Amino acid sequence: MANNAFDAMNDSAGSDMYVTGGSITTSEYEQNMNPEDQRKYETLLMDEFMSAYGSDPHKGNLDFKHWLGSLNFELLRERALKFDDIMAGNNGSQRLMQMPDGRPLEDAGMLQRLAHLHTGRIEDLAEIVSTMEPERSPERPIPFREPAGYQRPRPQTMQQPVGE
Is the pLDDT reported for residue 141 higher than 50?
no
Express each pLDDT in 62-71 by its tens digit: 889 999 999 9
Is the pLDDT reported for residue 124 higher than 50?
yes
Residue 136's pLDDT band (cuts 50, 70, 90): low
CA 8 from chain centre, in angstroms, equals 27
Express each pLDDT in 8-54 by its tens digit: 665 655 555 455 455 456 788 888 889 999 999 999 999 999 999 98
Q: State the DSSP string of the chain.
A: -HHHHHHHHHHHHTT-TTTTTSS--S-IIIII--HHHHHHHHHHHHHHHHHHHHH-TT-TT--HHHHHHT--HHHHHHHHHHHHHHHHSTTHHHHHHHSTTHHHHHHHHHHHHHHTTTTS-HHHHHHHHHTS---PPPPPPPP--PPTT--PPPPPPP-PPTT-
Query: What is the rounded average pLDDT of the residues 143-159?
Result: 57
Q: Where are the domains of the chain?
A: 29-130
Confidence at residue 151, expressed as pLDDT on a 0 to 100 scale: 63
